[in-house]
Structure 1
Amino acid sequence: MYNIKEKEQIFIYTGPDGSGRKTIAKMVATSFDMETVLSYTTRSPRHYEKDGEDYYFINEAQFKKMEQNHEFLECVKIDGFYYGIREQDIVNAFKKHQLVYLTLNPEGTEKLKRMYGDQVTRLFIYADKDTVYNRLKARQESDEDIKRHMNHYQENMNYKNQCEHVFENFDLPQVSYQVSEVIEAFLERNLIITD
């Protein structure tokens, strides 16, 4: 397991799918010297997703091989698909940046929190059920995917009270600003200067 150095920090965006976690994460990262680490997954890309930009899309045999080689820091199985964060990707990100961010489901988030404790800050982003449903529809998700996401909505919401920071995403710029303030406070406390 990679040992995070004193001033290194992982920020994890978690919460229900369709809450805008990735959009907020990308908006906030532009203000700080932060790099994202992508998950590997065995599910197929959705029509708006790109390999190497949203996830690394691989087949199950490749995933299993990586797992056997102990390449993953954490991995989970959700609805028959595997997701994992490759340890080397975290190592590479920390070579260039002191702040790294991930977008994970609560199960993966909790695994990393147990591993790294205070060096992981959880940012829970959510929207009410109707808003999430409408966003998934607007994204032109398949009915099957929407049903899958909605089935996990309450289970994901149950993780809210365990996170250090919680934001309801009713206004993207506003929430991005609030998240930026959290990161700003962390930087000031740890006297890290980013460009």
Structure 2
Amino acid sequence: MPSRTESDPHGFKRRGMLFVLSSPSGAGKSTIAGKLMKAEPELAVSVSYTTRPMRPGEVDGREYHFIDLDRFREMVDNHEFLEWAHVFDHRYGTPKADVFHMLGEGQDILFDIDWQGAQQLHQLAGGDVVRVFILPPSMPELRERLERRATDSQDVIDARMARAANEVSHWDGYDYVLVNDDVEQCFECVRTIFAAERLKRSRQTGLIGLIRRLMKTA
């Protein structure tokens, strides 16, 4: 896979993108997101606000910004979120501050959100958003993955499976749909999409100057 410099050797000024990864819980989204962050060190990650309790090993401001429900509602009322959703009795929201400035500076931002968040982002940011949905090979395999994690009760797993069926039904709201039956292969597909979208003509704002110079000397 080419590096950033190799894939864009002229270093044209470029508008960033909001790169969305979504999947049912257990389908591999977090693993692939982590691999993409490692492979693309200049990629920024969107740290969401949430009302859920902090889990062991998590750090406030790293995995999430942990706040109470009253503060979350206040942020919603003040239109401080690009998108937000109510998931498993907790709320999650993406902060709006600085995102559009980062896009203008050519910064790509990774979003690990569900279909509702992806839809809200697309409604607000349109062509800046690239949406990738990751499917499990089958629903029985998805249940096996959730059970192997051994982090949830059977009731929670049942709830996640019911939610997964609903999430899968929204597959057609995405630009790309991949099946994660081999995590390395799926990751390479995600990284290929990422590289191609970075080179999309509509994001290459620096091309305009080059075209004008070429036309003057034609």
TM range (shorter): 0.7 to 0.9
TM-score (norm 1): 0.84
Select which of 53, 68, 71 maps to 1:44.
Answer: 53
SS in 2 for 1:8: coil
Residues 169 and 175, structure 1, Cα contact 8 Å, conserved in 2: yes
Tell me the distance in 2 between the aligned counterparts of 1:15 and 1:83: 16
Deviates more, 1:140-149 or 1:6-15: 140-149
Structure of larger gyration radius: 2
- Spell out structure 1 runs of 4+ moving beyond 4 A: 46-50, 91-97
Distance, in Å, in 1 between the alignment partners of 2:179 and 2:60 is 29
Alpha-carbon shift at residue 99 of structure 1 (Å): 0.8
Letter of the 2:156 counterpart: D
Which amino acid is the alignment partner of residue 147 of structure 1?
Answer: D
Matched, 1:68 2:108: no
> What is the aligned-residue identity percentage?
27
- Conserved 8 A contact 1:12-1:109: yes
Report the more deviating stretch, 33-42 or 96-105: 96-105
Equivalent residue pairs, number? 188
Select the residue among 149, 152, 165 that pairs with 1:139.
149
- What is aligned with 1:152? 163
| SS of the residue 2:185 aligns to | helix
Q: CA deviation at 1:39?
A: 1.7
Find the residue that maps to 1:30 and give its secondary structure: helix
| CA drift at 1:67 | 2.1
Gaps of 5+ in 2: 1-12, 206-218
Contact conserved, 1:18 with 1:136, CA < 8 A, in 2? yes
Q: Is the Cα–Cα contact under 8 Å of residues 14 and 105 in structure 2 kept in the other structure? A: no
Query: Residue type of the partner of 1:41?
Result: T
State whether residues 83 and 93 of structure 2, in contact with CA within 8 Å, keep that contact through their aligned partners in structure 1: yes
Q: Are residues 11 and 171 of structure 1, via their aligned partners in 2, closer, same or farther at CA, if it must alter by over 3 Å? A: same
- Relative to structure 1, the CA distance from residue 93 to residue 137 in structure 2 (aligned partners, 3 Å threshold; closer, same or farther) is farther
- Which of the numbers 20, 26, 51 marks the counterpart of 2:28? 20
Partner of 1:181: 192
1:88-99 pair list within 5 angstroms: 88=97, 90-91=99-100, 94=103, 98-99=107-108
| Whole-Å separation in 2 of the counterparts to 1:48 and 1:130 | 30
CA contact (8 A) 1:77 1:83 kept: yes
Instruction: Measure how far apart 1:71 and its partner are.
Output: 1.6
Q: Partner letter of residue 119 of structure 2?
A: E
Tell me the C-alpha RMSD between the 2 structures.
2.4
Alpha-carbon distance in 2 for matches of 1:25, 1:111: 20
How far apart in 1 are the matches of 2:117 and 2:86? 10
Q: Residue in 2 aligned with 1:168?
A: 179
Deviation at 1:131, TM superposition (A): 2.3
